[in-house]
Structure formats: C-alpha cells, structure tokens
C-alpha cells in the first residue's frame, strides 16, 4: 500500500509541465494514421475511415502505460475541408486520462503539385486517480482532488504535401498546459503551446490507379485499384519536449500486393521495433512489437501495439475545387439561340479555331420541353443553359457550356457528369465557318 501512496503523492506534487510529458503517448502506427500526431492529417485521404489502436507498453511492469485510441476521419465531396474525431484513454499506474478531440482540417493549393494542410482540434480531457487503491482518504491533497475533472485541450498542425510524395508536417500537440490536481472543472487555461513540438517528414507517393491480378476461384482477373501508393514508404519523426528532451524515430514499410506489408523502425535511445500488417477488403490489421529497452531490461517483455482500420464506403471524389460551369448570356425571346445545318460528335484537334464545342446535357424534339429544362436548371441548380436547333435532324439541344477548346469542353463534360443527374452528357461540334 505504501507504494500506491507514494505514487499518488508524487503525481499530485510534481510540476504541471511534467504532466504534459506524461500525457504524450507513443504510437508505432503513425505511418498508417498520421492523424494520431498531426491534426492537419485529418481526412487528408479520399476515404472515410475508423481506426482503433491499442498499445501495451513494457508488458510485465506494474503500472506501465496502456493507451487505447479511437479515431474517425471524413473528407467531403468537392470540399477543401475534412473532419476528424479522436477518443483516447491513457492509463499509467494510478493515473488515467480520457481525451475527446474534434478536428477541423483545411487545405490550400499553393502550386499545381503542392498543397498546404492546416488542422486544429479542440476538446476536453478528464483525469482520474484510482482511489480504490488508497486506504486513507483523509489527506487534504486527496480530499480536494476532483476524481473526474474536465479541462480544455487543443492542438494545431500544418502539413505540406507534394505530388512527388515528399511531405513535411509540424504540430503543437498541447496548446494548453494540463494539470491533473485540479479542484474544479475548467480550471486549467494556461496557454503553453511550445512545451511539445512534433515534426515529421516522409515519402509516400500517391498513385491515381494501377491494375493488379486477382484470383476469382480458379481464374485470374485484372482489377483496377484506385488511391494506392508506392510500395516503399519511409518516415522520420522528431519530437521535442522541454522537459523530457528529444525523441527521434525512423520508420519504413514495404507493401506486397497491396494486401500485406512489413515494416521496421528505430527509435533513438530505445531500439528497434518490427511491424506486420495485412488487408482484407475494407479492413486492415497491423501489429507492432518492441523488445524491452535497456531501461526496463530483465523486467518487461517488450511493448505490443495493434491497430484495426476500417474503410467506410467508396472513395470520396475530391477535386481541387467544386467544378464551375461557364454561365451563358440568355436571350430575351424564347427561341433557339443557334441554328446549325451540321452537328458533329467529336472534332479535329487541328481545327480548333474553326469549330465550336458544346456540352449538351439533353436533347429534345420540341422546343417547349427544351425550354422547360432550361428554366429548371436555372431554378434548381442555378445553372444558366441555352438551346440551339439542328435543322438537319430536327433536334433541340440544351447546352451548358460552349468553347473553341476541345480540351475545355471535355473537362467541363466531366465536371457536369459529377454534378448533374443527367445520363449521356455529350460534347457536340458545330462548324461555325
């Protein structure tokens, strides 16, 4: 019992800044879920996902840290922002901390091949001490302690992402200085952002798609995979704490067939760890093991960490920005704007200046039906459309975009297919000579 009393009074009497260092868990799976260390990584990829991470550190040592973390990340169609949620429980001896954080992330395109991501989180932390282990609760240091006290927490981060696969990130994990021996809720508002700093650089090359061979029973088939990455990835993580010093870690992974991977890491002043993982459809499972370090050699059986990650739904289409359809100037009278004797499907790239391209959403055999669609597009979608009539086949075409550039026409056609509920959107060519 004396060891519990000693541990309790030690926790309550140490400085506030030391408790900051205690509240920074270590993760081996930051390569899979970088959001664990940097809020700017929240929803940075094209799938909604839920991950559950559980780490048992220094197994065999009584009171050794145990961390369980649940995260959720969600990007949004045609938006530059994403949302994330983190629920974390961190047990270390008599002290237990539960954190809840909600994250908002946003990115800005600085060049055609590079984006800057920003993320900020805010939430609550509740700390408790296992008072059931204490026989004498009459001491003032204990009686004034609020067993489950709520305090604010927050973090912030940045990330630079490039098309080459090289990424740089920086985060401030604790904007407020947490204190565990509070006497009331929302007592700790000391702003201390630079007590801990995390920096990360890594190579993770994004590949839009690739074809792989899969077995369907006894037969092979070619399958297209989207949103995949180069097989080899490498990470460098640096963490600075003004009290516990510096931590440097190098980690690399090698993926096999997109379904199985191996990894290894080296943490300075601690040692090596190994990683193995595999994927089954939308579920990923990975495991990391760290042999006991020289600090606990002969006592601990090493550290174990597992992670389950589940992808929710299909890929969310994320463009640089929501496509904008070119507005057209409407005429006063209710009549076709153009009449054409020759309407073609396609066009010659070498004759761009002699032909005009139209993105047509629908065609009709009578003018009134075409005109009703024009009004409906304006009312429901705030999209200005117009009509031209082909005298050769007697068809009225409702179009939303016109240009002399074949490339721009097909780009707008693709955007219209994503934004509008029309089948068979087409590009037609009119000879304007």
Residues 69 and 205 in one domain: yes
Residues 306 and 367 in one domain: no
Would you say residue 344 lies in a domain?
yes
Single out the residue in 296, 312, 328 at which a domain terminates: 312
Q: Which residue has the tokens 């994990």?
A: 173
Would you say residue 417 lies in a domain?
yes
Single out the residue in 312, 327, 346 at which a domain terminates: 312
Q: The dihedral of CA 55, 57, 61, 66: what is its sign?
A: negative
Give the model's pLDDT for residue 19. 39
Q: The dihedral of CA 200, 205, 206, 211: what is its sign?
A: negative
Q: Report long-range pairs for 346-355 (Cβ below 8 Å, ≥24 apart).
A: 346/427, 346/429, 347/406, 347/427, 347/429, 349/406, 352/404, 352/405, 352/406, 353/404, 354/431, 354/432, 354/433, 355/404, 355/429, 355/430, 355/431, 355/432
Give the model's pLDDT for residue 129. 73
Give the model's pLDDT for residue 47. 85
CATH assignment of the domain containing 116: 2.40.160.40
Radius of gyration (Cα) for the chain, nearest Å?
A: 29
Would you say residue 105 lies in a domain?
yes
Give the model's pLDDT for residue 119. 96
Q: Please give the Cα distance from 157 to 175 (Å, whole number).
A: 11
Q: Please give the Cα distance from 88 to 390 (Å, whole number).
A: 65
Would you say residue 328 lies in a domain?
no
CATH assignment of the domain containing 420: 3.30.70.1070
Q: Tally the domains of the chain.
A: 2
Give the model's pLDDT for residue 228. 73
Residues 342 and 296 in one domain: no
Residues 355 and 301 in one domain: no
Would you say residue 350 lies in a domain?
yes
Would you say residue 329 lies in a domain?
no
Q: The dihedral of CA 239, 27, 9, 292: what is its sign?
A: negative
Residues 277 and 369 in one domain: no
What range does the domain containing 65 cover?
2-312
Would you say residue 326 lies in a domain?
no
Contacts of 300 (CB under 8 A, 6+ apart): 58, 59, 60, 61, 64, 292
Residues 400 and 269 in one domain: no
Residues 158 and 266 in one domain: yes
Single out the residue in 243, 278, 312 at which a domain terminates: 312
**Cβ proximity of 120 and 156 under 8 Å:** yes
Which regions of 303-409 does DSSP assign to beta strands (E)? 303-312, 338-340, 343-344, 355-364, 386-390, 395-403
Would you say residue 43 lies in a domain?
yes
SS3 state at 19? helix
Q: Please give the Cα distance from 261 to 231 (Å, whole number).
A: 9
SS3 state at 400? strand
Closest CA to 250 of 261, 269, 271, 235: 235
| Stated pTM of the model | 0.68
Residues 283 and 390 in one domain: no
* Token pair belonging to 171: 């985060």
What are the per-10-residue average pLDDT scores of the chain (433 residues)?
40 36 73 94 89 87 85 86 94 84 92 90 85 61 61 94 93 83 72 89 82 68 70 93 86 88 90 92 92 61 91 72 55 51 52 73 90 87 84 87 86 81 86 70
Residues 286 and 398 in one domain: no
Residues 295 and 378 in one domain: no
Q: Which residue has the tokens 């994403």?
A: 82
Residue 410 φ/ψ, nearest 5 degrees: -75, -25
Residues 286 and 346 in one domain: no
Residue 291 φ/ψ, nearest 5 degrees: -60, 155
Q: Please give the Cα distance from 189 to 179 (Å, whole number).
A: 9
Residues 260 and 385 in one domain: no
């Amino acid at each position: 019992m004396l060891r519990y009393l000693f541990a309790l009074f030690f926790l309550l009497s140490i400085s506030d800044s030391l408790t900051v260092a205690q509240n920074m868990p270590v993760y081996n799976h930051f390569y899979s879920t970088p959001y664990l260390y940097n809020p700017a990584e929240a929803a940075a990829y094209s799938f909604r996902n839920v991950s559950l991470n559980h780490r048992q550190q220094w197994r065999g040592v009584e009171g050794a840290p145990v961390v369980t973390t649940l995260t959720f990340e969600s990007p949004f169609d045609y938006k530059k922002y994403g949302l994330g949620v983190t629920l974390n429980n961190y047990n270390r001896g008599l002290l237990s901390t539960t954190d809840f954080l909600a994250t908002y992330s946003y990115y800005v395109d600085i060049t055609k091949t590079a984006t800057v991501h920003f993320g900020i989180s805010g939430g609550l932390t509740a700390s408790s001490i296992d008072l059931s282990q204490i026989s004498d609760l009459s001491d003032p240091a204990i009686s004034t302690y609020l067993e489950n006290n709520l305090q604010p927490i927050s973090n912030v981060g940045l990330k630079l992402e490039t098309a080459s696969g090289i990424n740089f990130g920086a985060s401030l994990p604790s904007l407020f200085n947490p204190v565990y021996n509070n006497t009331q809720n929302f007592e700790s508002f000391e702003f201390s952002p630079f007590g801990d700093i995390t920096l990360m650089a890594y190579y993770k090359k994004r590949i839009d798609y690739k074809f792989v061979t899969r077995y369907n029973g006894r037969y092979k088939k070619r399958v297209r995979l989207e949103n995949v990455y180069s097989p080899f990835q490498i990470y460098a993580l640096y963490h600075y704490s003004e009290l516990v010093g510096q931590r440097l870690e190098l980690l690399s992974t090698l993926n096999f067939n997109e379904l199985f991977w191996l990894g290894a890491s080296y943490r300075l002043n601690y040692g090596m760890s190994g990683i193995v993982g595999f994927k089954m459809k939308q579920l990923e499972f990975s495991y990391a093991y760290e042999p006991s370090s020289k600090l606990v050699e002969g006592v601990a059986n090493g550290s174990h960490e597992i992670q389950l990650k589940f992808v929710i739904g299909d890929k969310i289409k994320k463009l640089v920005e929501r496509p904008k359809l070119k507005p057209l100037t409407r005429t006063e009278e209710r009549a076709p704007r153009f009449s054409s004797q020759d309407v073609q499907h396609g066009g010659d790239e070498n004759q761009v200046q002699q032909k005009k391209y139209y993105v047509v959403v629908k065609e009709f055999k009578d003018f009134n039906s075409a005109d009703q669609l024009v009004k409906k597009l304006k009312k429901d979608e705030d999209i200005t459309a117009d009509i031209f009539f082909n005298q050769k086949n007697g068809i009225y075409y409702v179009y939303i975009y016109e240009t002399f550039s074949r490339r721009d026409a097909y780009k707008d056609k693709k955007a219209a297919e994503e934004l509008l509920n029309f089948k068979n959107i087409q590009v037609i060519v009119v000879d304007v000579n």
